[in-house]
Structures are given as structure tokens and as C-alpha cells.
Amino acid sequence: MRFVGKVALVTGGARGIGLGIAQRLASEGAAITIADIDVEAGARAARNLNDEGATAIAVACDVADPSSTDAAVRKAAAEWGRLDVLVANAGLHVQGYTKPACELPWEDWRRMLDVNVLGVVNSARAGRGPMARSGGGVIVTIASMAAYKGENAYGVSKLAVNGLTVALAKELAAEGIRVCGVAPGLIGSEEIMARFPAHRREQYINHTQLIRRLGKEEDIANAVAYLASDEASFVTAETLLVTGGAFCRI
């Protein structure tokens, strides 16, 4: 129970990888804030966590909007009195953003960068004060293996997240805040699988990964839990690849 007495906020925590992370941290004693743009889904996720014996609340949060993000973090800090872990998970998926960089409409570029890049900045800005007043803490960013392939707006946005992880780690170290990242590979969440045809999944697993199975949400949640825990107290400015060995074959 590594997070007893700790408070964690997960952006985009209402479903998918974010919900898996919230469940994992809650299972080890953390009080959870689900911060999500989908208010109903966030409330449902928090209610389910509470029904399972955890302690959770939900707050509305659009990470692309600084004022919305500030308000969400303030509400969480007021509820719990502290903030120890912030998981900057909210983001747009690659689907719909696979056109070459020079062909993607500008408004789509702007939306991707506003959510995936500035969303991390907004989350860190909002969280640093409450976290520092709590004696320090951990910010975990969620990047992607796509960052290392350098393809399309999504990959570019996640490469920027890798850079932000380092920049924020340097900036916030004096306040006792570590900043680490997790870069998932192909994860078999319901949301992702709905957009990834079965034949492409099999091809990806057989020809891209060393480990011949789909990644699971709990694979990412376990990595986040490690980085957020005291077991990783000497780890900062690093991004952990959780890809089934796909990086070896890029």
C-alpha cells in the first residue's frame, strides 16, 4: 500500500488508460480525483471507485483551458488538503491525425497541440503550488511510442511531451517535485481497439513487438504507480517505454 495518505489527480481519468491508472493508485490507498472533460463519465468513474471501497471525487477539467485546469486542481486541493501525485494523462488519440504534417489542417494541428502539449503545461502549472505546499510530489506525463517514430501531429505532440518531462523536472526539482513520463505502445483498451482493425493488431504484434501480446491498461498503470512511488525517489526527467519491446524494432 504505497499511497496510503497520498492524494492523486488523474487528468483524462474517466476511461481507458487514465481510469486504469486511477484504479491502480486507489488500490494502494491513494485518494483519487478524476479530472475529465466528460463530466458524466468522470462522475461515474469516481462513483465506481467509491463503491469498490476507494475514496474518489470527480471534477470537470478541459486541460486545453488553463482556467478550467486551475479550477479543477483548486477544487481537488480544497477537498483533500494536499496534492501528492498528478498524472497528466488527458490527450487526443492518433486517429484522425495521421495525415502528413504539411497536409493536416491547421485547426487540427492547433487542437492536437493545445490538448497534448499545452495540456501538460497547464496541468503542471496548476499542480505545482498545491504539490509544493504538500512537501513535494510527483508529476507523471503520458507520452507515446509514436514520439520516437516522428510521424504525424500526434507523434510530434508526444515528442514535445518527452521534452516537457525533462524541462519540468529541471524547473520543479527545487520544490521537491519529480517529473517522469511513461510512453505506452499499443494498448488493448476498448477505445483504442475500436479504431484499430483486428488484422492490423495482429500484424503490429507479430512484426513490431518483441512480446507477442497487446499491451494492457494495467501495464501502463503499474509503470505509473512505480514512478509515482517512493521506490522511484531517485528517478526524474526520465520517460519509461512500456511497449513490449517495439522500440527495438522501430
Angle between helices 16-27 and 217-228 (to 10 degrees): 50
- Rounded Cα distance between 12 and 161, Å, is 16
Question: H or E segment at 205?
Answer: helix 198-208
- Indicate the pairing of strand 55-60 with strand 85-88: unpaired
Distances (CA, A) of 171 to 24, 41, 124, 167: 28, 34, 11, 6
| Catalytic residue selected from 148, 154, 204, 226 | 154
| Angle value at C-alpha 88, between 85 and 93, nearest 5 degrees | 150
* Active-site residue, 97 included: no
| Catalytically active residues, by annotation | 154
